[in-house]
Amino acid sequence: MIFKVLYQEYPDEVPTRERTKSIYIEAESVRDVRQKLQNKPINIEYIQPLTETHLAYDQQSEDYKLEKV
């Protein structure tokens, strides 16, 4: 399953919507996503499992890139 992870680059700052970034991770569960990203210095805001329709929409974006973790 593919998950969309919304995060902030700086874990010690207050989250600001304008600085929110997203990455796409293939994993079995939300817990698996957190384990894969535990060594990255980011502040995870939200992890969203993507349906086929939502994934197809996001794949049309030029910013879509599936991360290999």
Instruction: Write out pLDDT tens, residues 6-20.
Output: 999 988 888 888 889
> How far does Cα 25 stand from its chain's mean position?
6
Q: What is the pTM of this model?
A: 0.87
Instruction: Write out pLDDT tens, residues 28-66.
Output: 999 999 999 999 999 999 999 999 999 999 999 888 989
Report the b/e string of 16-35 with b at 16+ CB within 10 A: eeeeeebbbbebeebeebee
Cβ atoms 24, 4 nearer than 8 A: yes
CATH, range 2-67: 3.10.20.730
- Listed by start position, the domains of the chain span 2-67
